Amino acid sequence: MTHTRPDWLPADTQGPLDDKLGIRITEWDPERVVATMPVSGNEQPFGLLHGGATCALAESIGSWAAMLHAGPGGSVVGIELNSSYLRAATSGDVTAVCTPLRRGRTLATYLIEVSDDAGRPTASARLTCLIRPARKR
């Protein structure tokens, strides 16, 4: 299992939205990508983690997992995201763990489980990405 970002991925950022939300990927293994995101700054008006922030976390981590599958020079685009909210998070960080359900040549589907600092599930999501492999020249 690798915990570091592969050399062939762009090194400058994970993306502007990831930066704004404070999403940080801590494990870059194709079988298990893990990321954290703070609740603070990502709440809805009633003090709970915003569902949109949770969806952005799920889409980001799933897309990065799909990029690991696509490989150097490949690209991916999310085509479907389903999310269920299980428990409110009000402080600390949430952790998302992304594992593949199926990885094919053109489609890859991932399960993303989000939990709070106490390890309690807060959300579950499924992301399907279209895979565009590197073009051969």
Catalytic residue, candidates 27, 31, 59, 113: 59
* pTM of the complete model: 0.93
What number of other Cβ atoms are within 10 A of residue 65's Cβ? 28
Give the pLDDT score at 7: 81
Residue 51, token pair as written in the block: 């569902």
Is there a catalytic annotation at residue 43? no
pLDDT exceeds cutoff 90 at 18: yes
Domains of the chain and CATH, by start: 16-132 (3.10.129.10)
pLDDT exceeds cutoff 90 at 106: yes
pLDDT exceeds cutoff 60 at 23: yes
The CA-atom distances, in angstroms, between 70 and each of 14, 21, 25, 37, 73 are 17, 25, 18, 25, 8
